[in-house]
Amino acid sequence: MKYDYIIAGSGCAGLSLLFRMLKDPILKNKKILVIDKSKKTDNDRTWCYWEEGTGLFEAIVTHEWRRLQFLTSEFIKEFHLENYSYKMIKGLDFYSYVLSFAEEFENVVFKQEAIKSIQTETNAALVETENGKYTSDYVFNSTSLFNPEINKENSLLQHFEGWVIKTKEPTFNSEVGTLMDFRLDQKNGATFMYVLPTSSTEALVEYTLFSPALLKKEEYKLALKEYIKNYLHIDDYEILHTEFGVIPMSLAKFSRTTDASELIINIGTAGGHTKASSGYTFQFIQKNTERIISQLQLSGNPNVKMTFREKMFQWYDRTLLEVLISNKMKGKEVFSLLFGKRSPEMILKFLANESSLVDDIKIMSSLPIGPFLSAGVKQLKSN
């Protein structure tokens, strides 16, 4: 049987796309095969992102914050978001929500198999797994099969360990999230903590670094313990959940399609939807999958072309990452200058690719021209 669409990889991007297809009155009737090697029954990650108003996954938002903090040893800035909300979704809530919705559809088939290759034939895309071969009109791929090579010259790693901790006594203000606390040793690269309280007794505390190499496992744990004791002043707590992650922050080119006939479409991190300079991906996956649906409705062809504005944001992003990789400036310095001089809402707009040209200029003018000019020219030439 030939499917209309194969979704190869049912993580954030694959399931976001599936959910959007099944919400559409026409696309919901298509023959869809979803293949993943994993069952998606683990709470393997927590997504944070910001958006205006109510989003598609509002029903499973664990908590949201309108007040955020940015801290360095030099200053503390607490701010109230005017239009955005900073939101958190637990991975397992997301997987269960989409999978239980999709269960109702007989035209959607799930297979738990490891994919070995994805290729095109005449007018069809072919997915080969450990158990069989499947064909479709289009394949939406979020596996790493086509990922470019990541190395120390073209990438930094964003690596982190997060603990959800519970205290006996009310300790946290669940209305205020800490976006970045840079009051930490910066010897390994840009190093900061997130503290996202979901109640007066529970918070996600995440030790995050942007650097070329991972640390030893015990170093993340030690940093978290010290921070909780010395900065949050908590001695007595229980660890409810831990997560560890590595997100590539890369100048390598993640292509949106892999073949001339454009029947294989890369989505999610595989399609370059991880913001290279920040690692945020969730909100970009939502924008991209929304556009894929619009394309399918309009023409039946799901290929989304980059707009001029998107190309500009990609250039800004690559320039900032180039500055960090080449050590022209430290991450702490860059973010401190931005948060010291500009409104946080404007920075979040810029990081979400939603700022105006005037905002872009204001953001750029808060950073020193030297390191950014040379990095910008280099990135312009490499495009």
Ligand X SMILES: Cc1cc2nc3c(=O)[nH]c(=O)nc-3n(C[C@H](O)[C@H](O)[C@H](O)COP(=O)(O)OP(=O)(O)OC[C@H]3O[C@@H](n4cnc5c(N)ncnc54)[C@H](O)[C@@H]3O)c2cc1C
- Residues lying near ligand X in the complex (CB under 6 A) are found at 9-14, 35-38, 45-49, 114-115, 142-144, 243, 245, 247, 268-270, 280-282
The residue among 237 and 282 lying less far from ligand X, judged by its C-beta, is 282
The residue among 62 and 366 lying less far from ligand X, judged by its C-beta, is 62
Q: Which two tokens stand for residue 266?
A: 């890369």
Q: Which two tokens stand for residue 255?
A: 């292509």
Q: How far is the CB of 108 from ligand X (least distance, A)?
A: 16
Q: How far is the CB of 14 from ligand X (least distance, A)?
A: 6
The residue among 6 and 270 lying less far from ligand X, judged by its C-beta, is 270
The residue among 136 and 269 lying less far from ligand X, judged by its C-beta, is 269
How many whole angstroms separate alpha carbon 378 and alpha carbon 383? Answer: 9
For residue 166, count CB atoms less than 10 angstroms from its CB and return exposed for 0-12, middle for 13-18, buried for 19 or more: middle
Coil, strand or helix: which one is 238? Answer: strand
The residue among 142 and 258 lying less far from ligand X, judged by its C-beta, is 142
Q: How far is the CB of 41 from ligand X (least distance, A)?
A: 11
DSSP state string for 320-370 = HHHHHHTTSS-HHHHHHHHHHHS-HHHHHHHHTT---HHHHHHHHHTS-HH
Q: How far is the CB of 45 from ligand X (least distance, A)?
A: 4
Partnered with residue 84 across adjacent β-strands are 52
Residue nearest to ligand X (CB): 11
Q: How far is the CB of 42 from ligand X (least distance, A)?
A: 10
Q: How far is the CB of 8 from ligand X (least distance, A)?
A: 7
Q: Among residues 134, 124, 144, 101, which one has the least CA distance to residue 34?
A: 134
Q: Are 15 and 95 in contact (CB under 8 A)?
A: yes
Angle, vertex CA 223, rays to CA 217 and CA 224, nearest 5: 95
The residue among 197 and 376 lying less far from ligand X, judged by its C-beta, is 197
